[in-house]
Amino acid sequence: MEKPDWTHGGQHMFSTHGVTVAEANEALDDVQRIEIIPDYNSRSGLTTRTIGHSATAGCLLSIITLTDNGTIYVVNGWKSNSRDRTIYQEAKHQ
């Protein structure tokens, strides 16, 4: 995945959810990542949910991004909930 712009989401993601930029980048780079377009919780229908594994975090992370004029912006990210973990695991076994 193209490297995202962290201008707006990095500090919020860390201070609110304890996820670092490095951990989120690992999840975004996971070769088995799942991308849900649009994110199933998106009000605007413009965001993407990526579920990927971060070795540094030791868990799956759900990262929300928004693409605008070719630039990918990170909106938020957190440790994946049970729904996202199930989506990831089921996709791996298909």
pLDDT tens, 19-76?
999 999 999 999 999 999 999 999 999 999 999 999 999 999 999 999 999 999 999 9
Q: What Cα–Cα distance (Å) separates residue 31 from each residue in 8, 15, 43?
A: 25, 27, 28
φ, ψ of residue 26 in degrees (nearest 5):
-60, -45
pTM for the full predicted model = 0.91
